Structure 1
Amino acid sequence: MDGRWDGLRAEVRATIGELVGSGRETGVQVAAYLHGAPLIEEQAGLADAGTGRPLTADTPIHAVSTGKALTATVVHVLAERGRLDYDLRVAELWPEFARHGKDRITLRHALTHTAGLPALPADITPADFTDWDRMCGLLADATPRWAPGERVAYHAWTWGWLVGEVVRRVTGKPVSQVLAEEVAGPLGLVDELFLGVPEAQLPRLARLEDAGLAALMTYAGENLPNFDAVAPPAVRPDATIGSRPDVLRADVPAVGTMTARGIARMYAALLGPVDGVRLISPGRLAEVSAVAARGTDWVFGAEVTFGLGYAVDADGSFGTAGSGGSLAFAYPELGLTVAALRNRLGAGDGDPMEGLRRLVRDAVAAAHA
């Protein structure tokens, strides 16, 4: 790694050391790439506080919706090869999806959370999530809440099956297999980027802990009128469902499991070549990272901005973040990607992973100026 950045690495190392040493975090990974080369790879703390197993750079962490980027990237790689078009009507590949007026919903609507299908049945269970055909059948039978493109609503769980089934229909393979073959494999990350986690890999995962996220989910269910429609009580995205081996093994492609260095490397290969591997062209990068949908979110009531499968931020970045605080973002103008993951899922704690992202971003931006 370039020695010019030793000071930044030391600052990141000290920051995560303090987070872990103070008991605020159990384990943290931070990674960044700059112009296709590793910039930062730091970690501290424990993967499992119960056994004392240390968190290493290659310890995968279930990072909840940060994993949406894995599924979105699969779509863009397929689109780059001419196998998918963003304006493809989903029902062209998935005929039974056309029921109840859904024939005009496109892949673009699905990617941008504007398909009108954010809700799940109130009695849905984690076991249902392990049955791909059942979940896709529920979506095929669903009636949209509004016309496609009419409004933005975070499709917290349904996004994964909507997009993932399009991938399966066009490739004949589960989306986790396409991720391994077309994204993780070429980048040397087959053991670090997962949708469905293979059984043999489960012992490597960090153990999730709750540090206020479950209480926040309860509060949201009680105070946001549409929250429980999107994340019914039995399947709230928290440490409980993220620790179930059956759910982790299943393809639930709205969430994912990864290392910080793995997801930072994947984003870097969206921006440009990484060890000779570039996932998409510069033109496609500009398209997928541009604002494609903006509005007041139906679930949370806040203004949101989406590109094609990623959030788009005012600081020039695009990426994804997960419940509990993990995140991964790319800065095309800086040639920078940053990931910060933790296994202690917090809420109302000052967002230390966002603080780490800003720390790296600001240092690189200052040098870039």
Structure 2
Amino acid sequence: MADLRGEAEDRFARVEETLAASIDRGEDLGASVAVIIEGETVIDIAGGYQDKAKTLPYEPRTLTCVFSSGKAVCAALIAAAVSEGKLAYDEPVATYWPDFAAKGKEKITVAQALSHQAGLAAFTEEKDPAIWVDWEATCAALAEMAPLWEPGTASGYGPQTYGFIAGELLRRVNGQTVGQQLKGLTRDVICGMGLSEATRAAPLVKPKRAPDLGEIDEITKAAFLLPWSAPSGISRQTWAAAEIPASNMHACAHGLAEIMQLFAAGRMGDKLAVSDSVREEAWQERISGPDKVLPFHLSWAAGVMRETYDGRIFGAPPTAIGHYGFGGSCVLADPARGLSFAYVPNQQSHHLVADPRATALLRAVYQALS
């Protein structure tokens, strides 16, 4: 059985066995897993390797790019800003970002933008692929953009755009970028990675097959398949150093689980808090139905996915909310239990949601609790 590093309470031995078995089968190269319940860390483990040659052990504080799991981090920071009275979910985005009102977007609320209802999933008109590393240019383009569908009528997942909308709202009310705010909270979740932090980062192993995007229409194509759908034509160092909150955060599982405690228990230690009333607002369903970008029927809260009654998304009870990142990273909060969970792998899979590695770990967590 693969050797694991870190600590887990004895009752969670099944979780350790699940991670070790995934490494032994070659489904994981290296990964970290963490669970926090009401502020107490009960699982903080890692196993496997950072590299294909299997020379560098994957440690509990090894950083890996978590892609869209960073969207949940943004959503948690937004919830804290709402709790502090700096933002309101039902207030128009344009209240805080006046230029955003252009081309019929004046009534789009913060909650609608966070739940992918704004019609701003992607740029359908040609852009320089390097635009994503230019914060001001990307935000200006989004403010000027006309919605791709009538806002509020459907969700359409924004792989890159979400982070700029959420991040610009935070910048305008906090006076800090997402990356700057995170630096004041933790060293284990990073948006905009410096050279010193890069020494902690494990490279990714690409998935063996491409994800199934379902039927490809103009919006899905713009979101995933055009030359400017994601950053390109830049060095890896430039990409990692930029703040692209929806897709280039680097983290370990414990850092993510700490932040998800804001949803799960209303507090990230003594650093940040979210009131009970705002937590209820944050996790209430904002829209449910077929997504215009992802090939799934999804229920969206304010920036996070809601679990289904059959546990189809996370393998968790329907009280849970969370998010996946491309390749398999997963974050989850269960407010009914004060529980937060994170899984960060460096071996990517092709699953967009419901990665079997993450759902197996979560089922093991809940089996231990029951």
**TM-score higher than 0.5 here?**
yes
C-alpha deviation, 1:59, in angstroms = 0.9
Whether 1:94 and 2:118 are equivalent positions in the alignment is no
Contact kept in structure 1, 2:266 and 2:279, CA below 8 Å: no
Contact kept in structure 2, 1:12 and 1:356, CA below 8 Å: yes
Identity rate, percent:
29
C-alpha deviation, 1:162, in angstroms = 1.2
Whether 1:296 and 2:301 are equivalent positions in the alignment is no
Whether 1:284 and 2:288 are equivalent positions in the alignment is no
Whether 1:230 and 2:223 are equivalent positions in the alignment is yes
Contact kept in structure 2, 1:242 and 1:248, CA below 8 Å: no
Give the corresponding residue for 1:312. Answer: 306
C-alpha deviation, 1:350, in angstroms = 6.3
- How many angstroms apart in 2 are the aligned matches of 1:236 and 1:54? 34
- How many angstroms apart in 1 are the aligned matches of 2:326 and 2:145? 26
- How many angstroms apart in 2 are the aligned matches of 1:63 and 1:146? 29
Check 1:101–1:237 CA distance in 2 against 1; reply closer, same or farther (3 A cut): closer
Give the corresponding residue for 1:265. Answer: 258
Check 1:241–1:50 CA distance in 2 against 1; reply closer, same or farther (3 A cut): farther
Report the TM-score, using the length of structure 1 for normalisation.
0.87
- How many angstroms apart in 2 are the aligned matches of 1:306 and 1:243? 34
Q: Secondary structure at the match of 1:200?
A: helix
Give the corresponding residue for 1:363. Answer: 368
Which residues of structure 2 form unaligned runs of 5+? Answer: 1-6, 309-316
AA aligned to 2:338 is G
Aligned 1:1-369 pairs, distance under 5 A = 5-8=9-12, 10-50=13-53, 52-121=55-124, 123-124=126-127, 126-181=129-184, 184=185, 189=186, 191-212=187-208, 215-216=210-211, 220=213, 223-225=215-217, 226-234=219-227, 244-255=236-247, 256-270=249-263, 271-273=265-267, 275-276=269-270, 279-314=273-308, 315=317, 316-347=319-350, 351-364=356-369, 366=370
RMSD of the alignment, in Å?
Answer: 2.6
- How many angstroms apart in 2 are the aligned matches of 1:95 and 1:31? 40
- How many angstroms apart in 2 are the aligned matches of 1:247 and 1:164? 17
Report the TM-score, using the length of structure 2 for normalisation.
0.87
- How many angstroms apart in 2 are the aligned matches of 1:57 and 1:22? 20
Deviations 1:276-295 (A, max 9, x none): 45521112112111212212
- How many angstroms apart in 2 are the aligned matches of 1:247 and 1:64? 12
Q: Secondary structure at the match of 1:32?
A: strand
C-alpha deviation, 1:48, in angstroms = 2.4
More helix, by proportion = 1
Contact kept in structure 2, 1:125 and 1:235, CA below 8 Å: yes
Deviations 1:33-88 (A, max 9, x none): 12220111111011223572211111111111001111111111111111111122
